[in-house]
Structure 1
Amino acid sequence: MHKQTINQHPYRRHFSEISWSVFFIVSAVVFMMTAGIGYASGNFTLLLIPAVFMLIWGISRFKSMQKMARLDAFQIPSYILSDFSRQYPGYGVAQIQQIEEGFKDYLALHLIKKQAYAMPSKSVDALWHLLLEKYAGFYAEMCQQLLGFQLYHYPHAEEVSAGEHRAHRLQLLHSWQVSCRLHGVKGLHPEQIPRLFQVDQNVAWSAGFIFHMTLIYALYDQFSIRDSGSNSSSCSSSTSGTANHSDSRDCSESSSSSDSSSSCSSCSSCGGGGGD
């Protein structure tokens, strides 16, 4: 059985599942294949192909790792977090730190893949709104520094069409999949639930979201997506646990519910302009 939370192991952010060892193995295989072809044809200039391939791939990976390292080291200024604390009294320093890390996780999704993501946390969304509404200049500079482009915010209307509802559910699935990739866990059978999907529960956010795997199984089923070696159909009948606090919104409905995903994320993102 998967664990809902794992507190004994610190979360760490990955940019890619591909390790440096895999990088060098793939590069070596390509080099040897090209060398064989070059030897057979007498054209050893073909060896430039794997050399250029390794150089481009290596530089790209190094830049990606640098971006993730900058995000890991980044801290929202204390005056902004103090303002957040005043707006939402009752949440201690440790809880606000978890919300800040959740926000950095959300930014990290856009480093891994630039696309729209549903926001699966009310508390992180509240911090996002504060940055947008009161510290727009800082927010714009932060996005450019950490992402290389502006991250735009799109609130979801309460009344949506069937097409919009489906698109929003897909954005939620994207948030889940890339969050799992970020922390190096399996999408359908995770050993830990990605932090971004656990922030509201961990900080006991009022009217926050509590996710259970039943919803995730249903999303995989709805969009006919399978993890390697996994069978989501056999999992979608699983029952979810009860919410830990009564004022939270339990995000464990099946795909047959018309409101299951729209009630579990109120905003989404879209990156635009100046991406590198």
Structure 2
Amino acid sequence: MALAYLVLAFYVMFSNIEKVPEIISLIFKSAFGLQEAAAGGAGYAIAQALINGIKRGLFSNEAGMGSAPNAAASATPYPPHPASQGYVQMLGVFTDTIVICTATVAIILVSGEYVPHGEITGIELTQRALSAEVGSWGGIFVAIAIFFFAFTSIIANYSYAETNLIFLEHNHKAGLNIFRVIVLGMVLFGAVSSLPTVWAMADVSMGLMAIVNMVAILLLSGIVVKLAKDYNKQLKAGKVPTFDANDFPELQSQLEEGIWDQAEEAKKS
């Protein structure tokens, strides 16, 4: 679905290629408060851009929240080294936010449907913009795309949460059933609540996740730097980077014995 969305977005952009320089200029002026600077409001404008950028960035790519690593940790990376999976995760953030979100902005701006401080925002604005460019079916396509994006996000995050409960040994049947009911209740609540309320709750919950995860990131930053240096050193030497637990004695007690040997064998077979 993401690929189909990007194909359609690129079609719209190339159909209006003459407007692209103007769009890029508008994005930079709005992002860095260049227009507001002339009116003396640069500080406030930049602060608002940073705050909203961080909040919506978290909502888009979950960078720093500690949710996506649930999937990364269960992957079998190649080259068989932890840093290789880290680089894959970085690519995911770039694709999600820089590519897909920029494509959405481009659709909205080239369509001429965007009105600063207008009443129409969010998904409805995207639907109108795409409909203006490709016809009425564009709005239907956006609705279908949003459904799949939202549905897969719910399934993925539920899977992360249940896996963590099982890891913490809270996997008795009654507890999992209660958790499933709570998840369904929150989905229903989000569907019938006002959009500002949903945004506010999402911002608070994601902020709390980020705070907790940032503590873990800071505590693990030393070993992360060491792993990255080991990966890049092997890469520069012309080798396929391979993780050797013996080089990281501080990690040996936390690793399942032979787990990285199994990862390498799985890729060879």
TM over 0.5: no
What's the TM-score, normalizing by structure 1? Answer: 0.26
Q: Which has the higher helix share?
A: 2
What's the TM-score, normalizing by structure 2? Answer: 0.27
